[in-house]
């Protein structure tokens, strides 16, 4: 039996997750160095091409959340993506129904039991407040950390400059979680679990040396059902969040059953 072919998918609604990401330590997510400049940093951060402000790519957030959830769920990273990256993909349809990773993050289209991803992660721009406060920095919006690479044999030092977003910077984030089945309501808890795993790990590069600790704050969660889209009742600025007083991840996880009941199907 083939599990939930693509043509049988029926959207029941969308959960919108919004909030802020705060850098607890310096954050380095690498960008391309378009041109070499005298005095330029060795490893620049990624920036918006128009505003020059740093941002957190949705792909960085989603990829790290997936990798951490794979490890937490004991899933083998058995599918090579690109040159150096491996992810988990279920090999057969018997394993797929109980795999939270594949259910949330999706499976390749060539699989007979393929389904689309449930989770969409937007790029996270600087908040207006942080953009204003960081604009006066030298680069701007970032700091440069000077480090030395030490040769383990000769003890010779090679200096380098690493650009990073300083601690305390805030980014607006948004994630969309598509609900196709009632089971997806339960699996939403694993999205919050992946986010909490990320809080206790690191985002971007140089994490083992103290970079990339972040925190999700001021979380607001909204529910738009299929009927809401048909009636045009989807403006979340006019809706009350369904997470009540649970604005951090631990509260959301510990009180998930209460919040889940607000997702009416």
Backbone φ and ψ of 172, nearest 5°: -85, 125
According to the per-residue pLDDT averaged within each range, which of 6-10, 85-89, 121-125, 255-259 is highest? 121-125
Strand order in the sheet with 214-225: 119-121, 170-179, 13-23, 214-225
Mean pLDDT of 25-53: 76
In this predicted structure, what is the pLDDT of residue 41? Answer: 62
Q: pLDDT (tens digit, 9 = 90+) per residue, 55-87?
A: 999 999 999 999 999 999 999 888 877 777 888
Q: Is the pLDDT of residue 2 over 60?
A: no
In this predicted structure, what is the pLDDT of residue 180? Answer: 93
In this predicted structure, what is the pLDDT of residue 38? Answer: 40
Whether residue 227 contacts residue 99, with contact meaning beta carbons closer than 8 Å, is answered with: no
Q: Is the pLDDT of residue 150 over 70?
A: no
- Helix 58-72 crosses helix 182-199 at what angle (to 10 degrees)? 100
Q: How do 214-225 and 13-23 pair as beta strands?
A: antiparallel
Where residue 158 falls among pLDDT bands split at 50, 70, 90? low
Q: Is the pLDDT of residue 27 over 50?
A: yes
In this predicted structure, what is the pLDDT of residue 148? Answer: 57
Q: pLDDT (tens digit, 9 = 90+) per residue, 192-246?
A: 999 999 999 999 998 888 999 999 999 999 999 999 999 999 998 899 999 988 8
Cα–Cα distance, 87 to 77 (Å, whole number): 4
Between residues 6 and 262, which one has the greater pLDDT? 262
Q: Is the pLDDT of residue 159 over 70?
A: no
Q: pLDDT (tens digit, 9 = 90+) per residue, 89-145?
A: 888 888 888 899 999 998 876 677 778 899 999 999 999 999 999 988 878 899 888
In this predicted structure, what is the pLDDT of residue 32? Answer: 55
| Residue 174: other Cβ atoms inside 10 A | 15
Q: Is the pLDDT of residue 166 over 90?
A: yes
């Amino acid at each position: 039996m083939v599990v939930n072919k693509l043509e049988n998918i029926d959207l029941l609604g969308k959960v919108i997750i919004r909030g802020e990401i705060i850098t607890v330590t310096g954050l380095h997510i690498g960008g391309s160095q378009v041109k070499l400049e005298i005095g330029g940093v060795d490893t620049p951060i990624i920036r918006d091409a128009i505003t020059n402000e740093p941002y957190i790519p949705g792909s960085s957030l989603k990829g790290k959340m997936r990798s951490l959830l794979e490890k937490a769920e004991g899933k083998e990273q058995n599918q090579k993506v690109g040159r150096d990256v491996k992810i988990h993909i279920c090999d057969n349809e018997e394993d797929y129904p109980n795999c939270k990773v594949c259910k949330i993050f999706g499976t390749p289209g060539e699989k007979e039991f393929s389904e689309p991803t449930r989770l969409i992660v937007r790029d996270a721009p600087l908040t207006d407040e942080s953009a204003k406060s960081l604009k006066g920095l030298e680069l701007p919006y970032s700091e440069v950390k000077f480090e030395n690479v030490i040769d383990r044999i000769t003890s010779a030092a090679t200096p380098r400059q690493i650009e990073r977003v300083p601690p305390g910077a805030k980014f607006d984030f948004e994630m969309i979680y598509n609900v196709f089945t009632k089971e997806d309501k339960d699996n939403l808890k694993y999205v919050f679990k992946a986010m909490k795993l990320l809080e206790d790990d690191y985002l971007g590069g140089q994490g083992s040396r103290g970079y990339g600790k972040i925190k999700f704050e001021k979380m607001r969660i909204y529910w738009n059902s299929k009927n809401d889209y048909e009636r045009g009742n989807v403006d979340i600025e006019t809706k009350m969040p369904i997470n009540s007083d649970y604005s951090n991840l631990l509260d959301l996880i510990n009180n998930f059953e209460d919040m889940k009941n607000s997702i009416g199907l």
